[in-house]
Amino acid sequence: MATKLAQKTALTKPAMRSIAPGNTFDYEDVPTGMEHADREAFMLPFLQVLQKLSPQVDKGAHEYIKGASDGDIYNSATGEVYSGQEGVLVLPVRFHHCYTLWTIREKGGGFKGEESTESDVMRGTTRDEKGRMIRPDGSTQVVDTRVHAVILLGDDGPTPALLSMTSTQIKKSRRWMTAMQQIMMEEGGRLPRPLPTLAHVWKLTTVAERNDKGNWSGWHIEHVGLNEDEIAFSAARAFAKSLEAGSVKMRTNAQPPEEQ
């Protein structure tokens, strides 16, 4: 798969690709081949900040991507890597808050699913010496998870994507949500009103962070301006409607919390 590093990032103006058939066949009445595909048949890309322990930067791992380094942004569906310094451009579409469940690493690790914030999954949890919220069974970690559905403005045109934020990145999610809510549109003689989040372009880059427990790479989010690309807007609106209808589900990525 193609790898996009510092010299080729997702910051170019999105372009719609059009492929002309190399023959004279009439495709008008031919089935698309997608008639029986449900939402389980497709993978939504996750945008993930690579860390020092991520397999994509480990030369001994089969997931290794040549040229990738910690602090870069990884696209889980396409295998593309973007420079964390250059970043990517996105249109925010929808927000999802949930709890994800994990078997702790000492017990073998592994994703165990997600629960609604309205569930009682936090009942009886205690914080262990590593600061993790552990269920009464002693082996299940509960992780507060914020998922943002976005349209990625890439070289190949606008595409849906997701990114999840946990732990230290939750503050980033809250600030982002607050900033989006506070951006108002003024129209002559009318009270200012907030625009849909998908009306705005945001730039996601990464920064080095640290505390007394270690260091890692985290998200940096800044507002670019109003989206003026009609194709990107149409893609964002269609994605929003599919999420609202449930034809596409905002699932968290099965990425261990230590690596997010």
DSSP labels for 51-113? Answer: -TT-GGG-TTSTT--TT--TT-EEETTT--EE-TTT-EEEEEEEEEEEEEEEE-GGGT--EEE
Q: What is the pLDDT of residues 183-197, one digit of tens each?
A: 877 766 677 777 899
**In sequence order, what DSSP letters do the residues of 143-164 get, joined into one string?**
EEEEEEEEEEEETTEEEEEEEE
Instruction: List, for residues 110-122, the tens digit of each pLDDT value.
Output: 889 889 999 999 9
Contact in structure between 81 and 73 (CB atoms under 8 Å): yes
More confident residue, 170 or 194: 170
Pairing of strands 140-154, 157-166: antiparallel
Q: What is the pLDDT of residues 53-74, one digit of tens each?
A: 899 999 999 999 999 999 999 9
In the chain, domain spans = 39-93+148-183+192-259
**Which range is least confidently modeled, 34-38, 168-172, 173-177?**
34-38
Q: What is the pLDDT of residue 127?
A: 94
Is 260 a residue whose pLDDT tops 50? no
| pLDDT category of residue 45 using cuts at 50, 70 and 90 | confident
Residue 5 has pLDDT above 50, yes or no: no
- d(CA 239, CA 151) in angstroms, rounded, equals 8
pLDDT in tens, 133-161: 999 999 999 999 999 999 999 888 999 99
User: Rounded to whole angstroms, how far apart are CA atoms 252 and 117?
Assistant: 14
The DSSP 8-state label assigned to residue 179 in this structure reads H
At residue 178, φ and ψ (nearest 5 deg) are -65, -45
For 158-172, what is the mean pLDDT? 94
Q: Measure the CA–CA gap between 89 and 66, rounded to whole angstroms.
A: 23
Report the percent of the chain where pLDDT is more than 70: 78
